Structure 1
């Protein structure tokens, strides 16, 4: 090989690397958020840290709940799948990125042949030998028009989207564990209320039976008291079953049995430590705080990059094969002077007729981008609604719980008065039974309202993008 030829190879490689990087992908522009600039009905909130910056350990202050969340983060199978999806996407990005660089490999070969087919049987004839050792590049595509770069950018965006999807899965998991634990607390309170109600109704049934046996009460009164007692037993059985099912649902989230100590010292929702309050902020904050929105944007960026790859398919594709090494007919002098050999073999492929395949791929890539735009905008709108609904709950559930508790207190007092009047023969048994029924319903509504209030706090924290840090 001449010295001039040896100089051409690195110059060609340098020129190829310099020209590479041209991209035909459209310039990415983030679509405008299709939501108002403020949340509906949100009064001005005092300044404070954004929900996404509040670690879940600082928001959920009850140590029993914190231990459950830690268990879920360590054991939940869906979260494990999300983590492995990240690893898979990272590997795919590395695969696409590696195509930008030449694959350098070494090869060695040796052949012995003869034009005489009987040579192998020992009947004479000449035998030729050829040995070679080479170091080189095979079919390296020079990325003149950015096809490989666009595919690499798309793979990178897919990787980032997968990572954000994992963070979104963590947010959902933490919120689900918190809501599941609060539901168990409510179940305990429901069970206690139902047991007390059943005891009261059984006492009323017993007294009514005595009055009926003595001719003081009618059979209608006795049957009515029996019906209410049996309904309370049925409600107790239903709640016991629901309690077991709710615990099973929480165990699935944890990936492990629910430890008994997570319910230690708890008989009602009021036994749980309060959660921190967070300001709503502005809708524009959601673009940076919600991992699911960021994941949707990364999918849009990937779709935008795929257009560049589809456009590049219309242009020539240049591949380079080159090697340098030694070649000899004698293995013993394979590395002697004068045995050097080199190959420089560029190849250009120009698409002329493909029956519309490249155009169809481009049309498909453009349609995919429009789909990704719609999905991105929908993710913003869905997040806006979730925050708006949670803010509406924060504004109204407090008053609802207060009113339900006041109604429960009134019904409790009414039952006491009716019980006294019935025992003294002033009120009818129907008044007593109606008061028992009303109090039971009021107590259940009060607990349900408080559960909704606490779960709404969890939902607001989740909707604002809290829970994926820490």
Structure 2
């Protein structure tokens, strides 16, 4: 966006006259023997050499078209920037709300795991006492395992939502090192 803004300034500058100063350098001597002496050097700068003042008069609308094009590119870049910012805000908000919902679901699922575990313990005691058959105990164990599986799935979804939130905030692990690598690099830095 900054570059597009700078291009607008360049396009506007085409409306103004430009002054070009050039210089010439070389050697001049009266005789061939004096040509390579230090005193034979000659420099011409500024108005004595090639000074050129160019004034734009008529270009068939090229400057105006260039300025309009630069303004259009700038406006397009501003719109793309705004779209990216709004997309980033939406992603952050979506991931924050997903984490909040998952936190509530994990709490509820944890309560379900506790309740099914308690029911499984009760059914085991009832089986030992002879009040129920073993099929009821197996059914209670299956219920506990299903509740635990759902809790693990929710924890995985929470981890994915956390990673998505970090990514939406612009974070990443591209330069992260494993603990073994960082320990080795610390040891290498300490050895002379």
Does the pair score TM above 0.5?
yes
Please tell me whether the aligned partners of residues 100 and 143 of structure 1 are also in contact (alpha carbons under 8 angstroms). Answer: no
The equivalent residue for 2:96 is 181
> 2:64 aligns to what SS in structure 1?
helix
Q: Point out which structure has higher relative CO (alpha carbons under 8 A, 6+ apart).
A: 1
Once the two structures are TM-superposed, the CA of residue 182 in structure 1 deviates from its matched residue by 1.0
Runs (5+) with no aligned partner, structure 2 = 173-192
Asked if 1 retains the 8 angstrom alpha-carbon contact of 2:17 and 2:53, the reply is yes
Secondary structure of 1:144's aligned partner = coil
Pair 1:137 & 2:53 matched: yes
Alignment of 1:233-382 (within 5 A): 233-255=148-170
Look up the SS of the partner of 2:59 in the other structure.
coil
2:17 pairs with 1:102: yes
Q: 2:147 aligned with 1:232, yes or no?
A: yes
Q: Given the superposition, is the C-alpha separation of residues 131 and 168 from structure 1 closer, same or farther in structure 2, using an over 3 Å criterion? A: closer
Structure 2 match to 1:199: 114
Answer 1 or 2: which has greater helix percent. Answer: 2
CA distance in 2, matches of 1:209, 1:247: 39
1:194 shift after superposition: 0.3
Residue deviations 1:263-320, cap 9 Å, x none?
Answer: xxxxxxxxxxxxxxxxxxxxxxxxxxxxxxxxxxxxxxxxxxxxxxxxxxxxxxxxxx
Gaps of 5+ in 1: 1-85, 258-470
119 and 251 in structure 1: CA distance in 2 versus 1, 3 angstrom threshold: same
| Equivalent in the alignment of 1:400 | none
Aligned-pair CA distance for 1:255: 4.3
TM-score norm. by structure 1 comes to 0.32
Shift of 1:155: 1.3
TM-score (norm 2): 0.72
* Residue pair 2:11, 2:70 contacting (<8 A) in 1 also: yes
Q: Is residue 221 of structure 1 aligned with residue 148 of structure 2?
A: no
User: CA distance change for structure 1 residues 214 and 116 in 2, over 3 Å: closer, same or farther?
Assistant: same
Inter-CA distance 154–222: structure 2 relative to 1 (3 Å threshold): same
Please state whether the residue corresponding to 1:156 is helix, strand or coil. Answer: helix
Aligned to 1:419: none
Cα deviation, residue 199, structure 1: 1.1
